Amino acid sequence: QITLKESGPTLVKPTQTLTLTCTFSGFSLSSSGAGVGWVRQPPGKALEWLALIYWNDEKRYSPSLRTRLTITKDTAKNQVVLTMTNMDPVDTATYYCAHRLYGWGIRGDSFDVWGQGTRVTVSS
């Protein structure tokens, strides 16, 4: 059974750096095809994809946030870390990490298992 759980601060001040950790179980991020992504959702608004890291350490970032985001993995600890710099009140959202669906013949990047999400508020 695959599970993921996000952890990190619930409140950050403007201009600070946010660090979120996704701790997962039930799969290995060293398995060919595996990946973990981050998606956020401001209150009452749509999902927004942030970043994705693959088993081979390839990384993809949202073009609009690329300069502020860094995604890394620790395969031994079964963790993926997302950092976002220069936080602003508009970054207030629920942040989700999710497991990338992979297997023979699967072509796209979709997320079949999600964490419960962690709410982050940006305020002074």
Partner 1 sequence: QSALTQPPSVSGSPGQSVTISCTGSSNDVGDSNRVSWYQQPPATAPKLIIFDVINRPSGVPDRFSGSKSGNTASLTISGLQAEDEGVYYCSSNTGSRTLVFGGGTMLTVL
What does the binding site for partner 1 look like in residue numbers (CB under 8 A)?
A: 37, 39, 46-49, 52, 60-64, 96, 101, 106-112, 114-117
Q: Are 16 and 120 in contact (CB under 8 A)?
A: no
The two tokens of residue 12 are 């950050």
CA distance linking residue 87 with residue 69, whole number of Å: 11
Maximum distance among all Cα pairs of the chain, rounded to whole angstroms: 48
Q: Any idea which residue has 């209150």 for tokens?
A: 43
- Provide the minimum distance between the beta carbon of 15 and partner 1 in the complex, in angstroms, as a whole number: 26
Nearer to partner 1, 63 or 124 (CB): 63
Nearer to partner 1, 29 or 39 (CB): 39
- Provide the minimum distance between the beta carbon of 39 and partner 1 in the complex, in angstroms, as a whole number: 8
How many beta carbons lie within 10 A of that of residue 23, not counting itself? 17
- Provide the minimum distance between the beta carbon of 46 and partner 1 in the complex, in angstroms, as a whole number: 5
Nearer to partner 1, 52 or 80 (CB): 52
- Provide the minimum distance between the beta carbon of 76 and partner 1 in the complex, in angstroms, as a whole number: 26
CA angle 59-82-15, nearest 5°? 120
